[in-house]
Amino acid sequence: MASVGIIGASGFTGAELLRLCAAHPDLDVVVATGDTQAGTAVADLYPSLAAHYGDLTFSSVDDTTADGCDLVFLGLPHGASQALVPDLASRVGHVIDLAADFRLRDAALYPEWYDEPHTAPGLLADFVYGLPELYRSSIVGAPLVAAPGCYPTATSLALAPFVWGGHVEPSGIVVDAASGASGAGRPAKPHTTFCAIDEDFTAYGLVGHRHTPEMEQAVGTRADGTVVDGVSILFTPHLAPMNRGILATCYARPTGDLDTSSALGLLADFYADEPFIVVDERSPSTKATLGSNTAHLTARVDPRTGLLVVLCAIDNLVKGASGQAVQCANLALGLEEAAGLTSIGVYP
């Protein structure tokens, strides 16, 4: 049994990590921090977890919080991991960071897209990108993993098979994606209250959302490290009036003969035998992914415009965050990759 710490456990991704670890045969949560909730019982903040964590209380973070842990998950706001990782990496066996702090390889992109310089740029090269379906071999045994979030995961899974194989033009890719409100985190914000999102559908982060360079990096970097030149993505995120889920609709122009049948076949071949990928002619549904670590994919080629359309649906808190982190943890620790995770959604 591997001892696990969750730093930043009081947010939605932290709560999802607690839920998934409770059902995991090989992970034992020994510490869960939440500075804003320090001293609060986990069961009081999240009664859904009471049956397993009835005696666990959120603690504060200090220099020795995670000492002795085999693995630590970081579920912190952007920027916070940079301050912790340099010391934490020497104290624990593995670190899985759910934030964007170590996802980009180029430190110069952080001030451009996150409005502040990276404080630990020397560690960027030590982190592997934690999207198993694309980069599994580099995650196995890795001490430091940067797990991608919901938008980059859905977009990369949809586009990588076509971009990596040269089946579409790498430039001029368009991604429209919608997220449930839980993607904005647990603390209340003016635009995520019930009255703000109910009966509404809005776009945000227009022409410059911070996940854009991460998407371009993942879609443009093959598993063997070779780079596809000229990848450019125009990404527009939307907030949908639902609790959780991501639906990404991606558009690209084929480089040769590609129709719907061959596009679906290409997806199916690329993800053959992947336990958490469903490729089907059906249009993906966010509700079909609820509570699961599965991505649902389909593709079409429009004979009138010649454009390829690829769609991907995931649960933003599972495959788009905590489930993906657990999948990476399994690979890093040498456990069965699907341990503690389900490919089956909850319905209705």
The vertex-319 CA angle with 62 and 115, nearest 5°, equals: 55
Give the dihedral sign, CA 144/135/238/115.
Answer: positive
Strand order in the sheet with 71-74: 27-33, 2-7, 71-74, 94-97, 144-146, 128-129
Strand order in the sheet with 173-179: 202-203, 233-239, 173-179, 246-252, 308-314, 295-301, 277-279
150 is catalytic: yes
Give the dihedral sign, CA 184/185/191/195.
Answer: positive
State the Cα–Cα distance between residues 301 and 222, nearest whole angstrom: 23
Position of tokens 């630990």?
Answer: 120
Q: Which residue in the list 21, 150, 250, 328 is annotated as catalytic?
A: 150
Pairing verdict, β 27-33 and 2-7:
parallel
For the record, the structure tokens of 138 come out as 């580099």
Q: Exposed, middle or buried by CB within 10 Å (0-12, 13-18, 19+), for 318? A: buried
Sequence-distant (≥ 6) Cβ neighbours of residue 53 within 8 angstroms: 18, 22, 29, 32, 42, 43
For the record, the structure tokens of 176 come out as 């429209």
3-state secondary structure of 107: coil
Contact 255, 167 (CB under 8 A): yes
- Phi/psi of residue 149, nearest 5 degrees: -90, -165
Pairing verdict, β 308-314 and 295-301:
antiparallel
Residues involved in catalysis: 150
